Structure formats: structure tokens, C-alpha cells
Structure 1
Amino acid sequence: MCDGALGVIVLTNARDPQTLNATLALLGEFTQIAPDASLAVGITMTDEVEAFLVPPFRDALVAEGFRIPVMRVDARSATQITFLVKSLLCYRYTSATS
């Protein structure tokens, strides 16, 4: 993470059986390093894992205190990554005014 960053996007792979635990660990680390940073999660490879569902993943993050944007993304798609970044920024500024 660099000085002046507005937030952190964690990209995680749906094919990894430990993706939830790994994501929680990263979010925990980034929260300690930069407690005021906004966070978002992009989940890749969901098209290759039929059983993977975003709502239970998001619910597990919320249960651990991470009420943040979580979405499926194709990391090769500039449009999808741009949308993820915009979600991070919108969440940051929406949270700041709440």
C-alpha cells in the first residue's frame, strides 16, 4: 500500500478453496495498516466454479465486520475493473457522508 492511497481492492480467485479465509486475512491486514482506507473485493474465475455464489461470500465478510463492495470481475476486462474502482470510490464517499 502506498501513501495517499484512497483504498484497497483485494482480487481473489473463486477456484481457490481457501479464498474466503485468504480474503479475510488480507482485509484484516490492510485494516491494520490503513484503518481509514476504503476496501473492496473483486472475485475472479467465478465462471469456472459453478457452485460459487457471491451472496454467501459477501455475508461471511459482513459477519466479520467488512461491509464493503464485493463483486464478480474478469480481471482482464478494463471496464469491469474500472467499475470495481468506481464502487470503491463511491463507497468511500458515501461512507464519509453517513
Structure 2
Amino acid sequence: MAINIKDPEADRMVREAAARRKQPITDLIKDAVRALEAEDARAKQERYDRIMAATRRVQEAFAADPLDYDPHAYSEELNDDVLRDNGLFDLLGEPPRGVREDPK
């Protein structure tokens, strides 16, 4: 199967890597795509873990005082007051959609 990579530098890099590894170019490309997909999955999992940690902290804050229960805090967009009060903007890395950070 002929591989036609239009970018000459990319073509050279792929052919050299395939020659070094003594693999067909298609196998090399498949391995590279699998590695990129695994890296993307790890990054998504790390972000999910950070968001779940923030969600647990919000839920624990409400569990400590049931009178402060706010059902909207569990929605997709976490209550910005709760996030701000508990310092969770830093944990998320960015404010949720629709939430503006306080100007400093």
C-alpha cells in the first residue's frame, strides 16, 4: 500500500522511523495513533478526577450542614458561590461555564 504524505518533512520522519524500527509504515502510524489516544485518555481521566474531587468537596460541605443543602449545587454547573467560598476554582483550573472569576 502506497503512503502519500504531502509534507516532505513529515514523510521523511515517518519513513526514517519505520526503517529504524524495521516496521511497515502503516504499523508505525497505527502505534503512534494508539499512543496519542492513550495519552488523551489519561489527560481526560486526570481532569475528571480533579472535577470529581471538587464535586466531593462541595457535597461534603453540604453534608456537614443539611440546612444549607442546595440541589442546584449538584448540577452540571457547580454553584459559583460554593466554589468561590471553598477555594475550588484553583482545583478545577478554570471556572465552570457561565461563571466569572472575581477581579483581583
Q: Structure 2 length normalisation: TM-score?
A: 0.25
- Identify the structure with the greater strand proportion: 1
* Rg comparison, structure with higher value: 2
Greater relative contact order structure (CA < 8 Å, 6+ sep): 1
Structure richer in helix, relative to its length? 2
TM (normalized to structure 1)?
0.26
